[in-house]
Structure 1
Amino acid sequence: MQKIYPAIPVLKEDEGKIIEISYKPEAKYLLSAGQAISRFLNELKNGRIIGRKCYGCNRILVPPRIYCEICFKATDEWIYIRDIGKVVTAVVSYITVDARKAEKHEVVGIIEFIDAPGQGIFHRINVNPENVINRKIFGVTVRAVWKNINERKGDINDILYFEPIEEIK
């Protein structure tokens, strides 16, 4: 009889030649997010969105970067922006962030910030999936809905989702 292992069929003549060891590592590590993203995450914990201004190409970079990828100059100053943007793209997802089947659908997409044209983040959008399927959500103005201040951790999920602040037509 043939034993089946994940993605690799094992033939009868190969039985006993394969060793399988399962363990759960207890890896402890620290990862620095860097100067710009660390500040960005700290500001999210405070319910604010911050970017970096590049005077070389006159853009506000969100998420912030210390060097501009367009003109290759160091960015010049920190700029707070409003948590308001427009939906650039959206999709109804049935897959979780760790690639498992979701119990319930989730609408996710790119939000372009009003105060930082051409810049945005990928996040959850609290809308009826029909508005994505019929393409009515694109271009709609949305605002961030934040976790309660005592629940924030300093990560992107401190923003629960974005929701429309105008009627979807």
Structure 2
Amino acid sequence: MAVGKKDIECPPYAEGTPLSDADIKEKRVTYVEDHPDIRYSWTAGQAISKFLNGLKEGKILGVKCNKCGRVMVPPRMFCELCYKPIDGWVELKDTGTVETFSISYIDPDARPLPEPVIVAVISIDGASPHMGIMHILDEVKPEDVYIGMKVKAVWKSEEEREGAITDIKYWKPLEG
């Protein structure tokens, strides 16, 4: 078998002796147990952090490119069409349009769901076309969902919000 630039023979299997719980309990093998106190922090970046803070306040924030005029959600720090840095923020409505959707009958672990979940990409009203966020639709039957459907955000209560996309519980059809 060639590995890199060298020919190395690798056995098809490696012999060994399996360990049992008794081997460890009776200290027939040497091991070290440790419980380190590891803490970490991360940042979502300037644009997404401000977007998430807006969600905590019940607002959908986007950015506007002052060169080409695009309004982008989710926000980013530069316009990928004209490469201009972004510094203008806009508050958008919590309504939008279903761009595309999928009906899922399984959960993330591929287990069947008792009821299907509708996942959609939603273009936010006031943002540039064909740009949106992925979220859940509810208060609608799967057979009644369609591309172009107008929807409205259903928010968690102010006390429950934590600065996450899940501060919007789901999107529901906009009546009228």
Please state which band the TM-score falls in when normalised by the shorter chain. Answer: 0.7 to 0.9
Q: 1:130: Cα distance to partner? A: 1.7
Please state if 1:16 is matched with 2:29.
no
1: distance between equivalents of 2:148 and 2:158? 29
Q: 1:120: Cα distance to partner? A: 1.0
8 A Cα contact 1:140 1:166, kept in partner: no
Give the residue type in structure 2 aligned to 1:125: L
Q: Which residue of 1 aligns with 2:137?
A: 125
The correspondence of residues 92-107 of structure 1 with structure 2, limited to 5 A, is 92-96=103-107, 98-101=108-111, 103-104=113-114, 105-107=116-118
Q: 1:101: Cα distance to partner? A: 2.3
2: distance between equivalents of 1:74 and 1:53? 10
Q: Which residue of 2 aligns with 1:164?
A: 173
8 A Cα contact 2:96 2:125, kept in partner: yes
Please give the root-mean-square deviation of Cα atoms over the aligned residues, in Å: 2.9
Q: Which residue of 2 aligns with 1:29?
A: 40
Q: 1:12 to 1:106 in 2, by over 3 A?
A: same
Please state if 1:110 is matched with 2:121.
yes
Please state if 1:68 is matched with 2:79.
yes
Structure 1, gaps ≥5 residues long: 1-10
Q: 1:94: Cα distance to partner? A: 2.8
8 A Cα contact 2:120 2:137, kept in partner: yes
2: distance between equivalents of 1:83 and 1:166? 14
2: distance between equivalents of 1:129 and 1:15? 53
Q: Which residue of 2 aligns with 1:139?
A: 148
Give the share of equivalent positions with the same residue, in percent.
42
2: distance between equivalents of 1:27 and 1:130? 48
Q: 1:17: Cα distance to partner? A: 6.6
Kindly tell me the number of residue pairs found equivalent between the two proteins.
150
2: distance between equivalents of 1:60 and 1:148? 27
Pair member with larger Rg: 2
Please state if 1:45 is matched with 2:56.
yes
**Residue deviations 1:136-162 (CA, integer Å, cap 9, x gap):** x21010000000110011000000000
Q: 1:34 to 1:102 in 2, by over 3 A?
A: farther
Q: 1:99 to 1:117 in 2, by over 3 A?
A: farther
2: distance between equivalents of 1:24 and 1:124? 38
Query: Bigger CA drift: 86-95 or 45-54?
Result: 86-95
Q: 1:18: Cα distance to partner? A: 8.8
Structure 2, gaps ≥5 residues long: 1-11, 21-33
2: distance between equivalents of 1:82 and 1:125? 17
1: distance between equivalents of 2:112 and 2:41? 29
Q: 1:55: Cα distance to partner? A: 1.5
TM-score (norm 1): 0.77
